[in-house]
A and B are shown apart, each in its own frame.
Chain A
């Protein structure tokens, strides 16, 4: 499969992971990046289509329904709310991380390594320092997330690009994994809050998260 065929397939089915395409993506960074961009775009297309133009303002037609149906609906709604509430605490952080990353698709367009100075500036805004890692940082921005500035990095791994959010003000008890909007990710505890790592494929996520855990440290803590 050549790049043109791969991009046509990704453009038609952004989350496709057919065998031949997967093989191509293993060896072609440019197409892997293209897929990341398309996955992010796809999530926004889905959101855009969820509600049709103007439908929210139209009053619903009310049809006569038996009272038991209303009572059953209410009971179901209460149960659904309880289930959603029970799941909410665990899933909200991951969901918001994905939403943030998807809303910044240009983060995957970078090809050149960010200068050390620019990276240090982004990290220092959150009082952090990043020790050397085997990865090249191709995007670094200080983003407003849940009331704080957090470093939003994109690093190039051996396989493709991965996003790293260093969430100094978000604590998690244990590793959480998630898959949403075509992105796989993990959130791991860190001595400085937590670290979220996301990519189009789940391969190497844990390895990357572990290395980032070791590399991130506070400006106030001397080694």
Chain B
């Protein structure tokens, strides 16, 4: 875990800085989004400690650029985008240590198994095993609510390439249900 000795923890920004009502409101807004951001980051990173780092770093970045958030109604998409970029930045800075998928799956534990039905549990495992290029747009679309065009802009891909990746992600998951995968003649993806 990284430390932030010179930074103000996001959870205390509103209390410890004399930012006024607007800053307090935005702090609370950011804090209210934290569970959503963490869930998003966990599906991206497949690692709890890393996900928490990504969220913490993202909230700090968001706080520093809070003036850029003109419309609070857009805050969720805005913060999710920052989380995604922070995750991508980690990949750029260093090749991340490979997370043991078996370990990650073990952490699911019996509690989740007993609550989810078998199909959903199997899907969770299968989603975790999707390569990042398929998992990322799927998570952005389903969890983040991003449109194909928005995902394309964010990932610097063409809309057609995003459609292909989303199609392939779901096509891989189809096999879990014993459904025949649709023929894939999408070919290679075009960059944006």
Cβ–Cβ < 8 Å partners of B112 in chain A: 51, 53-54, 56
**Structural contact, B166 and A13, CB atoms closer than 8 A:** yes
**Structural contact, B119 and A103, CB atoms closer than 8 A:** yes
The residue in chain B whose Cβ has the minimal distance to the Cβ of A31 is B182
**Structural contact, A51 and B39, CB atoms closer than 8 A:** yes
* Contact stretch, chosen from A2-10, A147-155, A190-198: A2-10
- Enumerate the 4 nearest inter-chain pairs by beta-carbon distance, A residue then B residue, closest first: A11-B167, A52-B42, A12-B166, A48-B123
**Structural contact, A57 and B109, CB atoms closer than 8 A:** yes
* Complexed CA–CA distance, A44 and B183 (Å): 22
Most buried by A among B15, B174, B178: B174
Cβ–Cβ < 8 Å partners of A57 in chain B: 109, 111
**Structural contact, A8 and B163, CB atoms closer than 8 A:** yes
**Structural contact, A49 and B43, CB atoms closer than 8 A:** yes
**Structural contact, A41 and B182, CB atoms closer than 8 A:** no
A105 with B179: in contact, given A12-B163, A52-B42 (CB under 8 Å)?
A: yes
Contact of A106 among B38, B167, B179 (CB under 8 A): B179
Q: A45-B170, A55-B42, A56-B112 are in contact. List 15 more A-B contacts (CB 8 A).
A: A4-B183, A7-B167, A13-B141, A14-B170, A37-B177, A41-B177, A45-B123, A48-B116, A49-B142, A52-B51, A53-B105, A53-B128, A56-B111, A58-B48, A64-B15
A11 with B166: in contact, given A56-B111, A58-B48, A61-B11 (CB under 8 Å)?
A: yes
Cβ–Cβ < 8 Å partners of B39 in chain A: 49, 51-52, 55
* Complexed CA–CA distance, A53 and B44 (Å): 11
Cβ–Cβ < 8 Å partners of A55 in chain B: 38-39, 42
The residue in chain A whose Cβ has the minimal distance to the Cβ of B181 is A11
Q: Which A residues are closer than 8 A to B by beta carbons?
A: 4, 7-9, 11-14, 34, 37-38, 41-42, 44-49, 51-58, 61, 63-64, 103, 105-106, 109
Contact of B119 among A44, A54, A63 (CB under 8 A): A44
**Structural contact, B31 and A63, CB atoms closer than 8 A:** yes
Which range holds the interface residue count of chain B? 35 or more
* Complexed CA–CA distance, A42 and B120 (Å): 11
**Structural contact, B48 and A49, CB atoms closer than 8 A:** no
* Complexed CA–CA distance, A7 and B120 (Å): 23
A4 with B185: in contact, given A45-B170, A53-B124 (CB under 8 Å)?
A: yes
The residue in chain A whose Cβ has the minimal distance to the Cβ of B42 is A52
Would you call B171 an interface residue if the criterion is a C-beta within 8 Å of the partner chain's C-beta atoms?
yes
The residue in chain A whose Cβ has the minimal distance to the Cβ of B112 is A56
Contact of B127 among A38, A45, A63, A64 (CB under 8 A): A45
